Structure formats: C-alpha cells, structure tokens
Amino acid sequence: MKLKSLPSRRLLAGALSLLLLACQNKAQEPQKPVPAPPSNEVRLDPDSPKRGYIREAVVELEQRPLMDAVTGKIAYDETRTARVTSPIAGRVTQVIAALGIRVEKGQALAELDSPDLGQAQSDYAGAQADLNLAKHAYERVQELYAHGIAPLKDQEQAHDNLTRARSEAERAKLRLENLGVRNGRTDNRFILHAPIAGTVTERNINPGLEVRSDLPAPLFVLSDLSQLWVQMDIFEKDISLIHVGAKVMVQVPAYPGENFPATVNYIGQVVDESTRTIKVRCLVANPQNRLLPAMYAAIDIQSAPDDKAVVAPLTALFTEGESDWLFVAVNDGYYQKRPVKVGLRLKDRAVIREGLHPGERLVVGGALLLRTEEDAEQDAGGTKE
C-alpha cells in the first residue's frame, strides 16, 4: 500500500480544519425566537381535550330584560270562581258532584233534607191561600159598594187586606226563588245547584253532614280553570317599568324551560310599608289546565316587542382590571378575547351595550378555561424567547 505525498496530506488536514470551524460556528449561532401568539387570542389544537368543555352559541337579538324574574303564585281567577254554601240549614242526604269533575251552570251538586225549606214552602202555600181569600173578599165588597149596600170604609179595608196579602205572597215566593225552589210541592227536599260552570276544585261535604248558611268553609269551590291569575309583588323602585297591558312570561317548576305568556291587568295603588312592594296581577290563559292554583311561579317582565338588545349569560363574562371581557369564536378552535360594555346586569345574564354583535358565536361555557389557556400560551411564548 502506497502512502500519500506530503502536499496531499496537508490539503486534507486543512479541509478538515475548515469543516470543524464551520460546524463550531453553526453551533454557536443563536436560535430564532418562536413567535408568541397574538395578544387577546387563543388557539386550541384539533385534538385538544379542552375543546369538550367549550360551549358556543350564536348571538341573537332578544327582548330587552327590565329586571330579574319575580317570584309569584298562580291563583284562581276570582271573576270565574264561586264558593258555594247552602242558603238554608239541613242535613246532607246525597252528594252528587264529585271532586275534580266539570259541572254546568244549574247542575245539581248535593241534596239536603231541610225542615226550614218545608216551613218556607208552607208559608208560601198559606200566603197564596190568604191572597185568594183577600181577592174574593175585595171583589164582594167592591160589588156591594157599587150598589150602595156596603160603606166606603169596608171597601177601603178590603183593598188594604188585599194589598197586604199580595205583599206577603210575593215575599214568600221570593224566599223560595232565592233558595232555587220553583216547584209547587211541599217537602223538605232541597237541591243545591251550581251557580256557574266550572271544575269542582274543593269539596267539604259528605252525606250526613249538618250544614248551615253561616259555615266558615264553602261546601264546594267551582272555578273555570281555562284562565287563571298570576299574583306577584313588585318593589316600588321597579313599578315604573311595568304597566297594565304589559306582556310577561311565566315559568313554573312543573314544566322547566317552558314559558306561559301572560298580561298585566291590575297594578295595586298601595305600597306595603313593611316590604316596600306593590301588588301586581296578571292574566294567564290555561286552555289545557296544565297550570294549577297555588303553584309557585317565576315571572319575567318583558319590554316592548320592538325593544331588542344583545343579552349574554353571566357564564360568558369575566373581569380583568376594571373591564368586562368575553370570548368570541372566530374560527374552529380560534377564539378572540374582547372587551365589552355591560348595561343592566341581572342574576344570570347581562345586557351588552358595546363589543358584541348579532350573528357572532359567543363562548357561553368555558370562558375561564380559555382565559387560563391564554396565560399559559403567553408564558410559554415568553420562555421560548
């Protein structure tokens, strides 16, 4: 094997030295800084598990809220409700109307055995007999007076007796009519009739019960449940926000998430000094009888139909310094942090005056997670620099 010449070995050594020097210089070159994410922007990778915690919603204009939902109560519409008592004393022999059924006006509710009714019927029969007798007596005296046989005073006395008998008969007749009795029989059988059409919502009567006209509790409560009242108390500072005819939305725990429209039809004229509230009453339609008296309700007072606003849930808002912020989804996995100006702030939502527009996708869940992710990205960017 032949050895290389000396010049060749020198050239080879010089080339190796240059190569080592180039590698050393390349190793000592400073690395370019990794660019930090833009300010107020957050990106989540497509495979990031954090995406499952982010909830978005399209911003839409809705009626401007005026105040927090007010607690109220469903009640009978008293203009369509009757509390039925017996106008006469007696003993219950039969209860005809069952609890929960619908009855028509004039339908029989219960039957009583009433000696007082028998007495009233007897009085009417006696008054009718006295009236007939007085009529005949007057006619005889009138005829005699016309022929000059009877004196004037007898004719005047007969006329007075007839007037008294007629008044007594009319009084006895009205007594029976007030009791709802129109037959000519004399017995103790009294039928209690429904004064209005409606549903039997309460029944405090059973066979054998002795009833009087002055009992504290009604025997029956009848009500037309197709329309009900919603009663609530409004603080005096908020009373200027509502008026008769204003539309409200009613929610009850029995049907979560479902709204029942109602209309304000009465505003009280007196302030309760202990609570500083005013009584307000609304009418709510109940065609399917889903709402029931005594249900608790939450009433949302609404503005005029054309008074629209951008409303965001409080879960979308967070505070930095003295400003309110939220996140808007700009693209898939790309979110922009944006300052906003908040108007009326309620328990669970707020009116956004500036900074958010209809049609944008608002982050309504996971805003604080994105805020934490923004801090992490900025810290990572600063470290890499």
Residue 52 inside a domain? The answer is: yes
Same domain, 228 and 297: yes
pLDDT confidence of 274, banded at 50, 70, 90? very high
Residue 202 inside a domain? The answer is: no
User: What average pLDDT score do residues 142-155 get?
Assistant: 83
Same domain, 290 and 237: yes
| pLDDT tens column, 160-183 | 998 999 999 889 888 888 777 766
| Domain of residue 136, CATH code | 1.10.287.470
Domain extent for 182 = 116-187
User: What average pLDDT score do residues 1-9 get?
Assistant: 45
Residue 29 inside a domain? The answer is: no
Of the residues 301, 323, 346, the one at which a domain ends: 301
Same domain, 346 and 377: yes
The mean predicted confidence, pLDDT, of the chain is 86
Of the residues 246, 277, 301, the one at which a domain ends: 301
Same domain, 288 and 327: no
Range from 10-24, 159-173, 207-221, 267-281 carrying the lowest mean pLDDT: 10-24
CA distance 296 to 108: 33
Across the chain, which distance is largest between two alpha carbons, in Å? 189
Residue 11 inside a domain? The answer is: no
| pLDDT tens column, 73-112 | 999 999 999 999 999 899 999 999 999 999 999 999 999 9
pTM over 0.95: no
Same domain, 145 and 180: yes
Q: What local confidence, expressed as pLDDT, does residue 119 receive?
A: 83
Residue 161 inside a domain? The answer is: yes
The single-letter code of the amino acid at 29 is E
Q: Count up the domains in the chain and report the number.
A: 3
Of the residues 301, 328, 346, the one at which a domain ends: 301
Residue 264 inside a domain? The answer is: yes
Angle made by CA atoms 324, 325, 327, in degrees to the nearest 5: 160
Same domain, 290 and 338: no
Range from 55-69, 83-97, 176-190, 218-232 carrying the lowest mean pLDDT: 176-190
Residue 17 inside a domain? The answer is: no
Q: What local confidence, expressed as pLDDT, does residue 27 receive?
A: 46
Same domain, 56 and 74: no
Residue 352 inside a domain? The answer is: yes
The dihedral sign for the CA sequence 49, 46, 366, 337: positive
User: What average pLDDT score do residues 208-227 get?
Assistant: 93
User: What average pLDDT score do residues 68-76 get?
Assistant: 94
Same domain, 320 and 380: yes
Tokens 């000519």 found at: 184
The dihedral sign for the CA sequence 278, 284, 286, 290: negative
Same domain, 297 and 334: no
Same domain, 328 and 289: no
